[in-house]
Amino acid sequence: MISTAKLVRVGTRQSELALIQTEIIIGKLLEHFPDWKFQVVKIKTKGDRMEKADLKEIGGKGLFVKEIEEALLRGEIDFAVHSMKDMPYEIPEGLAIAAVSEREDPRDVLISKNKKTLKELGAHSKIGTSSLRRQVQLKALRPDLEVIPLRGNIATRLRRMDELGLDGIVLAAAGLKRLKMESLIAEYFSVCEMVPAAGQGALAVETRKESEFEKLLKKINHKPTEISICAEREFMKALGGSCNFPIGAYARIEGGKIVLTGMVEKNGMVKKSTTFGDIGNPREVGENLAKLLGDEDGG
C-alpha cells in the first residue's frame, strides 16, 4: 500500500481544460484515499507546441500523449490523465489504462455568431474545425459550408473564430461543460448527426503496468463507460482509425446490450450504421460493426 506520506505525481497537459480534468480524477481518488497528497506535473506535448500545424502532417493521434507517456516510463510521474479521445489504440509496452472516468456529454456542439443553429446559418457560411471526422459530417449535413482548419485549445479557437471572421466552430460538449462555458453553445448535434470520436467525453488514467498504482486506480474505474469505449476503440482499430482517417464511434449500454454507432467516410461518401451486441463482448461488437461498414461498396 502506498504510504500516506508519499507525494503522488500526476502528469497532464498544460491547458486549463487538462488541469480541470486532472482535478476531477484527483477528487475521485480522494474519496477512496483521503490521505494522499498530489503534485500536478504539467507537460507540453508535440501537439501543444505545434498548435498551428495540420495534425495529418505532424503525425496524428499520439501527439497529445507521447511526452506524457515517456515521463511515465521514465518514472517521473506516477500516473497520467488524458482525454480518452486523444489515446491511440496502441499503448506503449509497460503502460496500461488503469481507469476510465464516467463519460461526460459525448456530443459535438456548434458555437456560432448570434447563436444561430446549423440550419439558420447563411449559405456558404465558414465553420472552423481541423477534425476530419467533423469536417465530413458537417459537409454531409450542409454541403454548401466552407470548412476552415482550426486547431488549439478552446480559448484559442474562440479567439480565432473572431480573428478569422468565422460564422461558427464545432467543439466537444464535454470540454465546454467542464470549463463552465456551455452558455456559448448554439446547438447540440445528436450522436447520429455527428458521430463522436471514440472515447469522446471520457478521461483515461494511465500508469505503469503491474505497478501498485494500477490496482489502486481501478477503484475509480467506471465499468459501463469502460465497456462502451472498448467497443468504440475496437471499431477504430479494425478500420485503422487515426487523425488521418475520418472515423467516429459511440457506444452506450441499453437493456443489457451494447448499442454501437459507427461512421466512416469512403470515396467521398459518409457511411453510418448501428449494431447491437453482448455486454460481455465489447471487442466483438466493435469488430462486427467495422466489418459491416468496411465491407460495404467502396470498402
Instruction: Considering the candidates 78, 86, 108, 167, report the single residue annotated as catalytic.
Output: 86
Residue 86 among the catalytic residues: yes
Using alpha carbons, list the distances in angstroms from residue 54 to 40, 146, 176.
29, 17, 23
- Give the ranges where the chain is alpha helix by DSSP (H): 16-32, 46-49, 55-58, 66-73, 132-141, 154-163, 173-178, 212-217, 223-238, 282-294
| Secondary structure of 237-295 in HEC code, one letter for each residue | HHCCCCCCCCEEEEEEEECCEEEEEEEEEECCEEEEEEEEEECCCHHHHHHHHHHHHHC
- For 83-92, letters b (16+ CB in 10 Å) and e give bbbbbbeebb
- Give me the active site residues, please: 86
